[in-house]
Structures are given as structure tokens and as C-alpha cells.
Structure 1
Amino acid sequence: MTTPSPVEAEALELIRDLIRIESVNTGDDATIGDGETRAALFVKRKLEEVGYRVDLVEPRPGRASVVARLAGADPQAGALVVHAHLDVVPVVEADWTHPPFGAEIHDGILYGRGAVDMKNYAGTILALARSYRREGVVPRRDLIFAFFADEEAGGVWGARWIVRHRPDLFSGATEAISEVGGFSIPLTDDRRAYLVATAEKGVTWATLTARGHAAHGSRPTPDNAVVRLSRAVAAVGAHRFPMVATPALTRFLQVFGEHRGIRFTDEGLDGQLAGLGFVSSIVSSSARNTVSPTVLSAGGKTNVIPAEATARLDIRVLPGADVSLQEELAALVGDDVDLSWGRPVPAIESPIDSPLLEVLQDAITTEDPDGLVVPYLLPASTDNKHLAQLGIHGYGFVPLRVPADFDVFGEFHAADERIPVDALHFSTRVTDHILRNA
């Protein structure tokens, strides 16, 4: 293992410092505490030490975010937002073999909540921001460093609030880089692919409601609400939405097909993707709309047939597919139940031919000459969705070179969340190249 450079060493130390700040986002104001603000104040202090003008935004106590800008050489070039979130999901400490907020390193592996999601990137970009001020680096375009609160609960008091109330902090920005992508996966036996999220599914929720006549359990009714709801839920669970060839999926299948010698087909796609290993679940989910029944509610006593039964559905929608999905789901559940919709969070889609992707490829090539940057569609959500409301095209790319069997995506929200230390050093070097040349 080579000796890390000063900025690589500082990035690792800052990552560990941030992990030790328990900025857990429970989604409940009564239990969240002030961890996000403590993390934001830490970042603010580190940026101000090297001369940045820093905006700390705290829409409510304990929910702070930090934004700072480094001026570039070309005022006509659109600014690049480089962002990470400072909150993390809760932990069940009994499930961990190492302290979740200890930031301990064992056998070259860093353990801790946020090691992947995503204090690793927060510490990396913080170290680089500090390095640039110390060295007097002037990038080509303005760099806006943003450290958000509340991403794990939808960004309500973080990116979403700032976009709505302080859009001036992102003036002139045209593109953004953050999670989820950049990690390596096997392309062939001797080559790696580095995924870049060029699109994200939209998110919405729906409720199925079945109604019937309340009755004593000893007297079955023909319109039992539980039975009617169960039929609809079973139909949703058994349904497979058709594959949609989005630009990101098309490019992914093209690249992997060429290198793996696979001719992907609509009919055999799921089985063919399974041969790609752990990445198959991500790509399979991104190939079609998905609807998952998640919460069922009916009755309160075993001997009472309830008059109403409900099911809540988690729905992930491909770009441009909102109307077709609503029509397909309505036909699927039929007239026996009512279908009501929640407020949607629209899908986002950024150009896969942006010059920024060439910069990402060049940066990877400097460290992994045979590495190949490959677009994909993220089936989940990031704060890029909120920035998209300002016309900012978001890309998910936190570069990490990991062993072939290391599933970075599988570390998100997992017990014993971890990442190899040498992958973090790689991340610092590649991110440095990206920010200097974007």
C-alpha cells in the first residue's frame, strides 16, 4: 500500500471525524437532535479556516446545511455543484461488530455509519476544497461545495428548503455531482466499469381502499373488504411492468453486451442481468416501473369483519412514465377498490452525452487505464432531484475502486457499513482530477 498524499490523508481524517458526529436522521423531529447542525458547524469551521465565505442555512434548530463557492477562471462557464449530505440513517448497535460511530479501521477497512452513505464523499470534497484554497487553485468553472441536511428523509429541511428559499446560493449552476454511482463493478475478468447515475426514478405513493359491510366474523359477507383488498394487492405483487429502454439503460446494455458477449433481449433481460452478479438488482429495478405493497391495514378484532381495508404502495416511476403507470395500475387493481395518489416526486434525467462525462472518464483513466465509465439509471432518489428544479443536471459519481466482489450499493444503510481505505484514497485522487478539469 502506497503512502497517501497529504490531501488523501486529510480526507481520510475528515471522513473519520464526520462519522464520529452522530448526525442520525430518524425522520422524527422529537428524536433527531442537533447532530446535523454539529456536523455542519464542523464543516463550516474547516472551510473558514482556509478563507471561504460560508453560508450556514438552518431552517429549524438542528437541521443545518453549509454552502460555499470557489470562483473559477471562466465566469461564462456554468457552475458545478459538488454536494454530499451530512445526515445518516439510524443504527441498531447490536447488529454491528464495530462501533457504528467509532470510525475504526481494521485490516484496511473503515467501518462506520456514513462510510459509504455518504460522509466518505463529504470528507473528500471538504479536504479538496481546503486544499484548493491553500494552493490557490483556480478551477475552470465555479465550484459550489454543498453539505446538506435531511437527505435521508427527503431533503425537506435540507436541499429542498434551500432550493425553494435560497436559490441564490446556486446561481449560475448548470450541473451537479453527488451520489449514487462512481463505484467499480466487474466489466470483464480484467476490466472495471464505473457506473454514473445519469437519471433517477421518480417516487410516489398510492393507497388502495376496499370497502364492504361490517359484520360479525361468524357471518361471512360477499363483499368482505379484506378479501377484496387482498385480491388487488396480489394482482399488484404478481404484475411485471414492461421494460422501458431509457437512454441510460440502452447505453448500459450496449456496453456490457459488447464486453460480455451478451445480446440482451426484452424477454430474457432479467435472467441475462442475473449473470452480472450483485449489480443485476440495481439494473433490473431501473429497467421498468415498480410498485411494491408495503403497508396493510384492516380491522382491529378477530371476530369483526371490518368495513374498510387499505394498502399503501411504494411506486418508482421511470422518466416520462407517470401517466402510463397510473393507467396501468388502475386497470390492474380494477373497480373493486379505490385508488388514490400521493404527491409525486418527478423522475430526473440528465444528458448522457454531456462533456462532464468525458471528464469523469479522463479522471478514471488516470488511475485505472482500462476502467470504463458507464451510465445507468438509479432506481432510488438523491438531492439531485431538488437541484433539478433549478435546471441543474445531476450526476451520481462518487469514485471508488473496490474488489470485484465488494458490493458498494449493498453497504447503503447496512449494519457494519464499511469501505476499503485504499478506495477512499482513490476517490480523493479521481475527484481532485474531476474538479480541477470540469
Structure 2
Amino acid sequence: VAAVGNHKFDFALTPTVRDFIRAVSDALGMELSADDPEELLAQLGPIARIIGATLSNTANPTMLNAGYKHNVIPGAAEAMIDGRFLPGYEDELIKDIENLLPPGVVLEDVVNGIALEAPFEGPLIDAMGAAIRAEDPFGTPVPYTVSGGTDAKAFSTLGITCYGFLPLLLPPELDFSAMFHGVDERVPTSGLEFGARVMDRFVRSL
């Protein structure tokens, strides 16, 4: 279990992450590294916490279970692993985990999702950009991969292509990514008001 949790999976750039690097480089007027993940994350600053999990497969042991009584040696034990693979890298994740397991340990799927990518182009993307720039002339939509769960996985089975669009204007001193799912997670009301105006423009333009 520790071997899986401590394993560093290979660096991989999906098309969406490549597009993200290119778009952010253009927006900031600087060249982001597409070859060195450590350098790339250092260049990204606080948002590295969000982007880091999209540069490789990940696997985190989250649950352990064995035995039924404190003075009885368990006959078997199990560990739950939260494994997340990049689009197109499911086989690599399974193979890597299996190679880390000792003889006698069996890897089984409990929940198996899908990893999605969608092209960052078309009228919908153009409408997002126009809505943002109407409120922030320097605002630039960029594509990125979400490492968490998304309803897009379910909608994709119906042939629906989904895009996450969550406009939010945050002050530079707020380390928002460090607050995710924390007891003090928050955003300024001005940021929400900005997002509401952008979403209103976006929906009305469709």
C-alpha cells in the first residue's frame, strides 16, 4: 500500500494540457515549460495545486480494512485506492499499480469511471470568451483538465459534449486552491458577482 501511495507516475501531456500550456503562455507573455513538470509547476504558482494532478496518473490509498476483532489475526486484508488516470492512460495506470503489488495481492475494480477530453474550439467557446472579455478586457479562457469528478462523464454516455465554465474573479493575494474542501473555503462576494454577470451574458448570447 505504501509503495502505491509513494509512487511517482510518469509525466504525460494530454492534448488538453498541451493546449493549456500554450494558452497560458500566450496570455502571460511567457514560455511555460512543456518538458519539465517541476519547472512548469514552479512557473504556475498557486494554481500548480490544481494543474499538478493533470500531469500524470495518480493513485492514493484512502481506506484499509482487515479483521473483525482486536485479538484475532486477520485472514485477509484489503485497501481501497483512489486511482485517477489521464485520458488515454487507463491501461498504464492499471499496469503500474499491478507492478507495485507483491505476489498474492489482487487488484480489483470497485468503481471505474472514464476520462474525457473535448476540443477547445467552436461557437460555445467563442461565446465564453466574449462574455468574459465584456467584464474583464484581460480575461482569457483557457482549457484545462479537471482532476476531480464531473457530471460530464455521465452526459458523455448520451453523446453530449460538456465544458466546465466557472468564471470567478479573485484577488491575487487569495490562495484559493489551498482552500479547496477546507473548513475556511471561501470566495469574495465581488468574485461571485463578477461570475454572475459573465454567466448572464454568456447564457443570453446563446
Q: TM-score range by the shorter chain?
A: 0.7 to 0.9
Superposed CA RMSD in Å reads 2.2
- The alpha-carbon deviation at position 363 of structure 1 amounts to 1.0
- Provide the rounded CA distance (Å) in 2 between the counterparts of 1:376 and 1:254: 11
Per the alignment, in what secondary structure is the counterpart of residue 108 of structure 2? strand
Q: Which amino acid is 1:364 matched to? A: I
- Provide the rounded CA distance (Å) in 1 between the counterparts of 2:80 and 2:132: 42
Contact 1:364–1:430 (CA<8 Å) still a contact in 2? yes
Report matched runs for 1:103-182 at 5 Å: none
Q: Which amino acid is 1:297 matched to? A: N
Per the alignment, in what secondary structure is the counterpart of residue 145 of structure 2? strand
Per the alignment, in what secondary structure is the counterpart of residue 95 of structure 2? helix
1:338/1:413 Cα in 2 relative to 1: closer, same or farther (>3 Å)? same
- Provide the rounded CA distance (Å) in 2 between the counterparts of 1:423 and 1:302: 52
Question: Which of 304, 312, 317 is 2:85 aligned to?
Answer: 317
Matched, 1:264 2:49: no
Which ranges in structure 2 are unaligned for 5 or more consecutive residues? none
Contact 1:247–1:352 (CA<8 Å) still a contact in 2? no
2:194 counterpart residue number: 426
Report matched runs for 1:10-409 at 5 Å: 233-258=1-26, 259=28, 261-266=30-35, 268-299=36-67, 304-409=72-177
Q: Which amino acid is 1:395 matched to? A: Y
Structure showing greater radius of gyration is: 1
Contact 1:248–1:377 (CA<8 Å) still a contact in 2? yes
- Provide the rounded CA distance (Å) in 1 between the counterparts of 2:29 and 2:66: 49
- Provide the rounded CA distance (Å) in 2 between the counterparts of 1:300 and 1:271: 47
- Count of matched residue positions in the alignment of Structure 1 and Structure 2: 205
Query: TM-score normalised to the size of structure 2?
Result: 0.88
- Provide the rounded CA distance (Å) in 1 between the counterparts of 2:31 and 2:73: 53
Query: TM-score normalised to the size of structure 1?
Result: 0.44
Q: Which amino acid is 1:423 matched to? A: G
Contact 2:88–2:115 (CA<8 Å) still a contact in 1? yes
Contact 2:33–2:39 (CA<8 Å) still a contact in 1? no
Q: Which ranges of 4 or more aligned residues in structure 1 deviate by more than 6 Å?
A: none
Q: Which amino acid is 1:398 matched to? A: L
